[in-house]
C-alpha cells in the first residue's frame, strides 16, 4: 500500500462531517468557513516514539494521545475544538497498526465533533504531529498572561498517576498489579478537559494545561503574567494509588515534576472563586485550590504553613541529562 492509498483507506472514512469544512482531505489545502464573532485558536504538538510514548505502546493509545494532547491545549484556551490535521511518519506500512491507530484518532474526534481535514504521510522513524484548531467567542479566549497577585491557584483532577505509570514501566518503582491498568490508562488515554476549559473562560484569569509538570507549567504562567506563586504541597490532589505506592515526599515531587497529566492549571480572582467552583461542579470536573498568586516573581512551596525548598525539576527537551 502506497502513500495515497494509505491516506484514502485509513484517514478519509470518518464519522464527523462538519458543515464549516468546505474542503477536506484530498486537496493541497483544506478550506474551512470563517465564523462571525469567533476567534480561532491553533496549536501543534509532536509525539515521537521513545520520547513521548514507549515503543511498546498500543497504536490505538498512540492515536488517542496524539489527539488528546492537542485538545488539552485547546481546552486551556477556553476554546471548543473543531478541526485537526495529521502528519505521520512511519518506518513501514503496517495495515493492522494503522487500523488501530486511526481508530484511536477517530474515537476522540467523534466524541468532540472534530473533523480531520488534512495532513501528510512520510516514511521514517515513527512520529506524529497534529495541528488542531478551535473556536472561542471573540475576545473570550484564556491565556497564560492574566494572573494577578491575590488570585487563587487551582488544578483539575489528580496529579502524578501518569508519571507513576511511566516509572513503573521503567522499573523505577513497583506498583500493585491491581492498580497498574488504571494508572496506565492515565498515561495512554488522557482525557482533555474540554468542557471545563469552556466553562473557565467566564471565570479564570489565566490557564495552562499540565504537560511538562506542575512547576514548569506554573512557571510559564508566572513568567507570562509577571507574578510569583506559592504552592501548598499538602493541598496537591493525589490519588489513593499515589498515596499507597509512594512516600509523601516522593508522591509530591512526582506530582510537581512528572508531567503527562493533561489537567488544567488556572488562576481565579477571589470574587469569582465560588462561582467557578459551582460552575465546574455542574459539569462534573473536580478542582482543588493548591495555592495563591503573589507579586514576588518567584515560585515558593509550603507544607503545613512552613516554607520548604523545591527539589523537583520538570521535563524539558534539550536539557542536560
Query: pLDDT, tens digit, for every residue of 272-300?
Result: 999 999 999 999 999 999 999 999 999 99
Radius of gyration of the chain (CA): 20
The lowest-confidence range among 21-30, 162-171, 236-245, 276-285 is 21-30
Q: Which residues, in sequence order, are CB contacts of 302 under 8 Å at separation 6+?
A: 230, 231, 232, 233, 308
Shortest CA distance to 79 belongs to which of 157, 164, 171, 195?
A: 195
Domain layout of the chain by residue ranges: 3-137, 152-306
pLDDT tens, 2-29?
A: 666 666 666 667 767 888 888 887 777 8
The 8-class DSSP code of residue 240 comes to: H
| pLDDT grade for 37, boundaries at 50, 70 and 90 | very high
CB 239 within 8 A of CB 161: yes
Contact predicate 197/295, CB 8 Å: no
Q: Look-up: residue for cell 495515497?
A: 4
Measured CA distances, 251 to 164, 185, 245 (Å) = 9, 19, 8
| Mean of per-residue pLDDT scores for the chain | 91
**Do 11 and 92 contact (CB within 8 A), yes or no?**
no
Of the options 3.40.440.10, 3.40.640.10, 3.90.650.10, 3.90.470.20, the CATH number for the domain spanning 152-306 = 3.90.650.10
Q: Do domains 3-137 and 152-306 have the same CATH topology?
A: no
pLDDT tens for each residue of 102-113:
999 999 999 999
The grid coordinates of residue 9 equal 483507506
Q: 189 in helix, strand or coil?
A: coil
Mean pLDDT of 138-154: 97
> Across-strand partners of 89?
122, 127
Q: How far apart are the first and last CA of the chain?
A: 40
Residue 243 CB-density burial (10 A; 0-12 exposed, 13-18 middle, 19+ buried): exposed
| Alpha helix ranges (H) inside 77-193 | 95-112, 161-169, 177-188
- Is 247's pLDDT higher than 50? yes
- What is the pTM assigned to this prediction? 0.91
At 317 the pLDDT is 45
* CATH class (in words) of the domain with range 3-137: alpha beta
Report the C-alpha gap between 146 and 225 in whole angstroms: 6
Average pLDDT for 139-148: 96
Task: Name the residue among 151, 173, 171, 185 with its Cα closest to residue 57.
Answer: 185
pLDDT of residue 55: 85
Residues with Cβ within 8 Å of 38's Cβ and at least 6 positions away in sequence, in order, are 135, 136, 137, 138
Amino acid at each position: 500500500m502506497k502513500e495515497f492509498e494509505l491516506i484514502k483507506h485509513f484517514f478519509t472514512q470518518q464519522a464527523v462531517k462538519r458543515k464549516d469544512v468546505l474542503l477536506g482531505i484530498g486537496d493541497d489545502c483544506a478550506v474551512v468557513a470563517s465564523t462571525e464573532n469567533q476567534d480561532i485558536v491553533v496549536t501543534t504538538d509532536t509525539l515521537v516514539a521513545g520520547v513521548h510514548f514507549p515503543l511498546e505502546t498500543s497504536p490505538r493509545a498512540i492515536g488517542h494521545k496524539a489527539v488528546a494532547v492537542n485538545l488539552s491545549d485547546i481546552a486551556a484556551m477556553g476554546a471548543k475544538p473543531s478541526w485537526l490535521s495529521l502528519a505521520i511518519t512511519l518506518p513501514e506500512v503496517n495495515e493492522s497498526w494503522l487500523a488501530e491507530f486511526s481508530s484511536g484518532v477517530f474515537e476522540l474526534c467523534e466524541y468532540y465533533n472534530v473533523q480531520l481535514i488534512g495532513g501528510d504521510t512520510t516514511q521514517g522513524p515513527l512520529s506524529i504531529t497534529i495541528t488542531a484548531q478551535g473556536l472561542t467567542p471573540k475576545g473570550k479566549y484564556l491565556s497564560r498572561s492574566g494572573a494577578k497577585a491575590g488570585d487563587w491557584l487551582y488544578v483539575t483532577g489528580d496529579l502524578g498517576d501518569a508519571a507513576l505509570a511511566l516509572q513503573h514501566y521503567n522499573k523505577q518503582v513497583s506498583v500493585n498489579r491491581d492498580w497498574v491498568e488504571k494508572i496506565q490508562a492515565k498515561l495512554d488515554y488522557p482525557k482533555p478537559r474540554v468542557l471545563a476549559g469552556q466553562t473557565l473562560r467566564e471565570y479564570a484569569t489565566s490557564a495552562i494545561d499540565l504537560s511538562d509538570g506542575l512547576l514548569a507549567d506554573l512557571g510559564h504562567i508566572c513568567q507570562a503574567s509577571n507574578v510569583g506563586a506559592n504552592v501548598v504541597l499538602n493541598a496537591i490532589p493525589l490519588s489513593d494509588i499515589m498515596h499507597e505506592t509512594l512516600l509523601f515526599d516522593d508522591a509530591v515531587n512526582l506530582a510537581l515534576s512528572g508531567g503527562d497529566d493533561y489537567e488544567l492549571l488556572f488562576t481565579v480572582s477571589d470574587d469569582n472563586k465560588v462561582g467557578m467552583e459551582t460552575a465546574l461542579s455542574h459539569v462534573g470536573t473536580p478542582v482543588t485550590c493548591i495555592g495563591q498568586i503573589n507579586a514576588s516573581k518567584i515560585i515558593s512551596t509550603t507544607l503545613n504553613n512552613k516554607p520548604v525548598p523545591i527539589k523537583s525539576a520538570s521535563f524539558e527537551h534539550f536539557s542536560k541529562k
